[in-house]
């Protein structure tokens, strides 16, 4: 069920190889080896080739699987910038080696950036308002802003919002509204205010904490979150993008969740985000759901 969605537009990102629960990726001229639980097959390249290519390798701590350390080769920078360029977008992202294996970018989201840009351009209203929740380092926010939207970017972690602002400046954009707050608190307040948006983007984590210790657990909170978003999204000339990264969450769940709260959907699309490695094995990287109305 659903569609497979990948981006063929990247010049500065590639999935080189995958297997043994790891992936070997190229970000610009930097090659990274990172854990990937879903890559359960045998790698195409040898261990020695991985070791030769990898500029940095992430190893989880035995005492805490959510934390780890990077083994970095001499001369490799722990921060660098890569570019995403298409017919519509020209975005720059500052990357960095974090203790949680992330680098500040989810390249598989590029197809959603293109969708967001196209939908903002199609909006009939001037400066359509777009809300990006759990917005991380802002790829979707930049795409919406590049298309001319009035963007509200919400994330609970201040350093991440600062990182997103840096990406905005690197991309030659400005004017995004930055909000450091628990996403649920924010949308509930927006509902009370009667605020309306032309587009809503959500990238909710499996687990998370707000700036004041608010607890987010996907399975417990996502239904309430979508109910609030249904009140915030304009009834027509609008769009929604939902990403689910939790392992085991089917895109059918996203479909049923959205259908239970939103009406008058004109077009919808849902399925898996993925990249194919150079041996043409498809590595799933989360599920997506998006619609227009």
- Structure confidence by residue, pLDDT tens digits, 93-119: 999 999 888 999 999 999 999 999 999
CB atoms within 10 A of CB 6: 19
**Domain end call among 64, 79, 94:** 79
pLDDT band, very low/low/confident/very high, at 62 (cuts 50, 70, 90)? low
- Asked if the structure places residue 95 within a domain, the reply is no
Q: Which CATH number does the domain housing residue 55 bear?
A: 2.60.40.1180
pTM: 0.95
Q: Which CATH number does the domain housing residue 124 bear?
A: 3.40.50.150
**Sign of CA pseudo-dihedral 153, 156, 157, 158:** positive
Do 136 and 279 lie in one domain? The reply is yes
- Asked if the structure places residue 263 within a domain, the reply is yes
Does residue 246 register a pLDDT over 80? no
Domain count, the chain: 2
- Asked if the structure places residue 67 within a domain, the reply is yes
pLDDT tens, position by position, 167-226: 999 999 999 999 999 999 999 999 999 999 999 999 998 777 878 778 877 888 999 999
Do 152 and 268 lie in one domain? The reply is yes
- Asked if the structure places residue 15 within a domain, the reply is yes
- Report pLDDT for 259: 93
- Report pLDDT for 218: 81
**Residue 2: which of 280, 291, 250, 281 has the closest Cα?**
250
Percentage with pLDDT > 70 across the chain:
97
Does residue 285 register a pLDDT over 60? yes
Do 187 and 232 lie in one domain? The reply is yes
- Asked if the structure places residue 98 within a domain, the reply is no
Give 290's strand partners. Answer: 241, 269
pLDDT tens, position by position, 272-282: 999 999 999 99
Provide the mean pLDDT of the chain: 93
Do 137 and 269 lie in one domain? The reply is yes
For 24, 113, 184, the CA distances from 81, given in Å and listed in that order, are 18, 18, 32
**Residue 16: which of 47, 71, 53, 59 has the closest Cα?**
53
Contact 13, 274 (CB under 8 A): no
Phi, psi values for residue 142, rounded to 5°: -65, -40
For 1, 68, 76, 174, 207, the CA distances from 149, given in Å and listed in that order, are 33, 38, 37, 11, 29
**Which range of residues forms the domain containing residue 253?**
104-292
């Amino acid at each position: 069920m659903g569609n497979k969605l990948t981006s063929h537009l990247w010049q500065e990102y590639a999935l080189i190889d995958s297997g043994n629960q790891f992936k070997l990726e190229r970000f610009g001229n930097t090659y990274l080896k990172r854990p990937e639980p879903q890559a359960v097959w045998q790698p195409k390249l040898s261990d020695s080739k991985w070791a030769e290519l990898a500029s940095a390798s992430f190893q989880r701590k035995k005492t805490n699987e959510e934390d780890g350390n990077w083994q970095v080769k001499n001369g490799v920078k722990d921060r660098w910038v890569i570019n995403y360029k298409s017919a519509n977008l020209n975005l720059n992202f500052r990357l960095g080696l974090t203790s949680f294996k992330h680098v500040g970018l989810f390249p598989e989201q590029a197809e959603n950036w293109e969708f967001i840009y196209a939908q903002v351009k199609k909006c009939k209203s001037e400066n359509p308002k777009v809300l990006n929740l759990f917005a991380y380092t802002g790829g979707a926010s930049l795409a919406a802003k590049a298309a001319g939207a009035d963007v509200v970017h919400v994330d609970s972690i201040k350093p991440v919002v600062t990182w997103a602002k840096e990406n905005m400046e690197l991309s030659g954009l400005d004017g995004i509204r930055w909000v450091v707050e628990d996403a649920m608190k924010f949308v509930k307040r927006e509902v009370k205010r009667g605020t309306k948006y032309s587009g809503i983007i959500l990238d909710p984590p499996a687990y998370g904490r707000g700036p004041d210790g608010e607890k987010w657990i996907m399975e417990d909170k996502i239904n309430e979150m979508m109910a609030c978003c249904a009140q915030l999204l304009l009834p027509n000339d609008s769009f929604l993008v939902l990403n689910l990264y939790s392992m085991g969450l089917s895109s059918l769940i996203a479909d049923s969740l959205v259908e239970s709260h939103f009406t008058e959907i004109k077009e919808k699309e849902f399925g898996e985000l993925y990249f194919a490695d150079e041996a043409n094995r498809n590595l799933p990287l989360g599920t997506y759901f998006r619609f227009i109305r």
